């Protein structure tokens, strides 16, 4: 009956942007949202349902898909998304 989803924490957008820009160290991300690294890890899983490393990989994979959808070669898509080469993609 009228279930309401909780509002997304605005700090998640800050963290997602930082991850997208290549910052994936837990300590760095925790400092951005004023949490200890340990509390950040728990908070992040509560918000996303994924550990930080899994989320970062998922974000990079979605970037690759966007590049491929725009007609970019696989190697270019992999490099632009932070993979060292297409084999690591």
Query: In this predicted structure, what is the pLDDT of residue 88?
Result: 66
Residue 23 is predicted with a pLDDT of 80
pLDDT of 29 above 90:
yes
pLDDT tens digits, one per residue of 50-71: 999 999 989 889 999 999 999 9
Looking at every residue in the chain, the average pLDDT score rounds to 88
Q: Where are the domains of the chain?
A: 8-49, 52-89
Block residue for tokens 């974000």? 59
Share of the chain above pLDDT 70, in %: 89
C-alpha distance across the termini of the chain, in Å: 44
Looking at the predicted structure, is the pLDDT value of residue 26 above 90?
Answer: yes
């Amino acid at each position: 009956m009228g279930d309401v989803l909780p509002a997304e924490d605005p700090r998640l957008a800050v963290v997602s942007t930082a991850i997208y820009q290549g910052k994936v160290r837990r300590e760095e991300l925790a400092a951005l949202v004023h949490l200890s690294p340990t509390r950040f890890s728990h908070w992040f899983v509560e918000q996303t349902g994924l550990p930080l490393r899994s989320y970062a990989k998922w974000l990079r994979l979605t970037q690759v898909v966007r590049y491929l959808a725009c007609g970019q070669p696989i190697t270019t898509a992999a490099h632009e998304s932070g993979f060292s080469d297409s084999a690591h993609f």
